[in-house]
Amino acid sequence: MCGLSAYCHLGTPQKDTKNSRLDLKGSLESIRHRGPESDGTYISPCGRCGLGHVRLSIIDLEGGHQPISSANGDIQVVVNGELYDHDHKGHVFKTKSDSELALHYYEDYGTDFLHHLRGEFAVIIWDDSKKRMLVARDRFGVKPIYYTTVNDVFMAASEIKAFSALDWRPEWDLESIIMPPTILPPAHYMTVSASGTMDTTKYWDAEYPDKNIEDKRTLEEMIQGVHDHVVESIRLRLRADVPLGVYLSGGLDSSSIAGVATKLLRDSNSDAQIDTFCISFKDGGIYDEGDIAERTAAHIGSKFHRLSLTQDDLVDNYERTLWHVEQPILDLNAVGKFLLSGYVRHKGFKVVMTGEGSDEHFIGYPFFHTDYLREQDRSTPKGFGCIAEEDRQDMLSDRLAGSYKFIHYELPRETKINTKARFNDSDLPYQIGKMLALSTDFMNSKVVSYHGPAVVGSTVLDSIHGDIRLKATTKWHPVHASLYLETRTFFPNVMLTWLGDRVEMAHSIEARTPFLDHPLCEYTNSLPPSVKLCGQDPKGNRLNEKYILKEAMRPYVTDEIYNRTKHPYLAPTSKPGVQPIVRLLNKWVTKERVDHLGFLNWETCETIKERIIMTGDCMAYSSMLKVISLLILHEQFDVAPVTYL
């Protein structure tokens, strides 16, 4: 894992680089935490292009420095991430690094080289013969890459802060309440020509089966298929020239990774022992999974490391976490993961495996249940896992009458949602938007008058292509449609950011995600809904989530994990009274700070602030953390106040 920064002049390049305002080395220094061990730069002979790279060495510790050049020097590449299955033949390799594979595949296949890459990556390539820059991101968005244009200079980097040394100054985009630049979507690449032409292309997408065609595979074949794909994905991700650990919680996903990894290592060394790392919350009650994780660690014989945290620890490190995440965060989960990554680095590790991506493919989250119940599953073999039709309709009615549960938030179910008719009558587009955006009440009257009220559901739904929306409502089962929407919106922009790359790389930790191996995901997507979320399993259990993964991983996990229902990783939330979160509220949510920002409504902020202190209201707490995030980012990045209204 590494950090990237690059630029490309779109007009006449500036040859006098000594007087350039594009400080590539300064840009790299701002993301030094991503690659503390070495750095490298390339400036094209014509002065048009600059590439920069900071390195965290995992494979080929002595070699593997970047940028990497082709034999004739025409092609230069910088890579952030890890590429697997990379024993490529047919080229003379300068290094033993997996990153060099991107260069040679590009030589062989041009822009189609991305079809041949397996792993988590962001890539920037300069092709001097074409005077063209190519920027690409992995299929699920595990690794970030941002881009923008300033004064006829295109620039791209792993983090927003890297642009400050490239003559960029942040300002608020009130349409989305973020600081531009733009993040390249997952599974896309863009080409930038010397003439200024920019094209963005999707090179991969998720697909799901026709909901009306019965799958001819047997359940046993499907279980074996999942088993083999998971084991192969973990096997590939065990390759490293430095020690490797596993983030372990009390759930099926990380327990499966730890169990399979231990088995694979002991196949060649009977004394092999993997290190596992867990967060434990002191007095955390239901939030604390430390004891369950420790029992799993004992079962597989791993060396167990527990980091115990208090809510004071989380609040005290909120601002540091936000500096690395670079976008509003609405709970303290990210801070816990940030501190865990620092703990792992302190223990001498650079590489871990984590369980992200399993819930998005094996239907793990309870908020998917309603969309599973919307239609009978006609694709499952011989009706496996289906609920009797009358029972299905009754269960759906009960859920629609109750509140909407998204992750750990219990939200009132809205009756008038403008996107329901466009997306299988589902609440999900609206609820995702509502979770991420501040409501119109938080905006001052000038913002509402200028931009109009927020239409959060439409914003989320319009972010996916029209042909996909058509498939989602005519060909795919509703729960598969919701899986697609979540993996293309909330998952890359929240889960893989707050709980992924940004809080891991803050401490120079490379995290590998076996459940986001694209051959595994393509296989899992091809399965009928009812073998993943089993409406009624052979033992009579209803809505048994990740059923097929449990069966496939049964040899590697404890009975406790096998029988446990989904419990997402959560940090403790606020409580009434004098809690640590009140320190953040009193420090940041003041009339002076809110008014200086230029677009928030102080009266609303003041009211919600008092509600949290008095009641500990969960949704008010989440909304106010968004406000606090904006106020902190405004100061950390010296963002200009909004004055045009």
- The letter for the amino acid at 479 is V
Q: Is 142 helix (H, G, I), strand (E, B) or coil?
A: coil
Give the integer Cα–Cα distance in Å for 596 and 602: 11
Q: What's the start-to-end Cα distance of the chain, in Å? A: 42
Residues 6+ apart with CB under 8 A from 137: 121, 122, 143, 144, 145, 184, 185, 186, 187, 188, 189
- Going by C-alpha positions, the residue among 593, 604, 606, 581 that lies closest to residue 635 is 593
- Is 98 annotated in a binding site? The answer is yes
Q: What is the widest separation between alpha-carbon atoms in the chain?
A: 75
Give the integer Cα–Cα distance in Å for 43 and 52: 9
**Are 312 and 282 in contact, with CB atoms under 8 Å apart?**
no
Give the integer Cα–Cα distance in Å for 370 and 115: 35
Q: Indicate which residue of 2, 49, 386, 521 is catalytic.
A: 2
With 0-12 / 13-18 / 19 or more C-beta atoms within 10 angstroms meaning exposed / middle / buried, residue 617 is middle
In which order are the strands placed within the sheet that holds 182-183?
38-43, 49-55, 2-9, 153-157, 146-150, 182-183
Residues 6+ apart with CB under 8 A from 586: none
Query: How many degrees, rounded to 5, is the angle at CA 259 between CA 258 and CA 262?
Result: 85
Bridging pattern class, strands 351-353 and 244-247: parallel
Note if 8 is an active site residue. Answer: no
625-641 CB burial, b ≥16 within 10 A, e <16: bbbbbbbbbbeebebee
The token pair at 388 is 């009797």
Give the integer Cα–Cα distance in Å for 543 and 548: 12
List helix spans (H) across 367-511: 369-373, 389-401, 428-436, 445-451, 456-462, 466-474, 478-488, 490, 496, 502-505
List helix spans (H) across 475-617: 478-488, 490, 496, 502-505, 518-525, 529-532, 547-552, 559-563, 580-588, 591-597, 602-615
Strand partners, 405: 410
Annotated catalytic residues are 2
Which residues fall in the annotated binding site for ATP? 279
Point out the annotated binding site for L-glutamine.
98
- Residue ranges for the known binding site are 98, 279
